[in-house]
Amino acid sequence: MTVFSNPGVHFQGYLTLNGIQQWVSIVGQATTNPVLLIIHGGPASTYSVFTRATQLFSQKLTVVHWDQRGAGKTYRKQPVVPKSLQNLVDDGIELSKKIKQLLPKVPIILLGSSIGSITANLMVQQAESLYTAYIGTEQMTRFSHQYAFNQLMFETSHRFLKQNWLQKYPFNADAWSAKQIETFNIFSALQKTDVDNMVTNLFIPNLLQCPSYGPQDYIAFAKGMIVSYNSLHTELDTFDYNRLLTETNLPFYIFQGEHDPITPTQATKIYFNQIKAPRKKMIIVPGTGHLCMFARPRYFIDKASELRRLVLKK
């Protein structure tokens, strides 16, 4: 593949990862900048549609977006879905190795967002030597659903919502069914009117404005989310969060939306406080909810510049 464009890096196309053609975009303005490998959430909510944020990030980082197995353009190429989280972990590690071959002296910062923070977390555990730092945004933890439920019960002013929906949920979020988790995430996001909604304000406008997306891509995006969810929801909804790392040799950063209704700040702090790392930092992104890095991309890259300097010194 041809990726170098004087003086930077640019590639959009398919790479073979563990036997599957998967869509990857690489955008950077200098070959010496650290790589930011973004592991999207969902499952199958590909972030390659956030092209405006990517252009901003690419001034200081070489940004790698990857439509995972079962997501976006990868699903359009071949309708293959992940059978397990480990499929995604294996593909992500294979992609990381290819990036190392392409840019052997460049550090890789691994970023996992939302459900992608589980995948990225497992990637670090299984192949830590490939990476120089970890960033979690919308970091999923074992406390996320419970704190989100408590937060919505406390904050909502909708009496009908409380009496006819919330109060029918088991108070202990560990007892929720897969359908209850899915429905809760949708409704809780819609209740947060004081921050950008991740679907209506962030995903849909960026999806419709993405220059590399057309009607067939929109269809593949929607279908990929449905089939990937159907394939993975049981594993995700019963995931043992004790599997998440608690100790790493990498700098460990968390970017947290101040008013995230799905992965609340209080829940993320509990997990963050358990982490042992040579350097760790939790950054609250003001005035944002879920997908904080795309709601305030300039704030994100300004704060991430400290980590950029740190990995370049290694």
Which residue ranges form the domains of the chain, and what is each CATH number? Answer: 4-313 (3.40.50.1820)
Q: What's the distance, CA 123 to chain centroid?
A: 13
User: What CA–CA distance (Å, rounded) separates 239 from 299?
Assistant: 32
Stated pTM of the model: 0.90
CA distances from 147 to 25, 59, 130 (A): 35, 36, 33
Closest to 39 in 3D by CA, of 69, 60, 18: 69
Render each residue's pLDDT in the chain as its tens digit; 314 residues: 546 566 788 999 999 999 999 999 999 999 899 999 999 998 899 999 999 999 999 999 999 999 999 999 999 999 999 999 999 999 999 999 999 999 999 999 999 999 999 999 999 999 999 999 999 999 989 887 777 777 766 666 655 565 556 666 767 767 677 677 777 766 666 666 677 778 888 888 998 898 989 999 999 999 999 999 899 988 988 889 999 999 999 999 999 999 888 888 888 999 999 999 999 999 999 999 889 999 999 999 999 999 999 898 87
| C-alpha angle 249-255-256 in degrees, rounded to nearest 5 | 130
Closest to 40 in 3D by CA, of 58, 56, 59, 53: 53
Q: Is the peptide bond before 43 cis (omega within 30 degrees of 0)?
A: yes
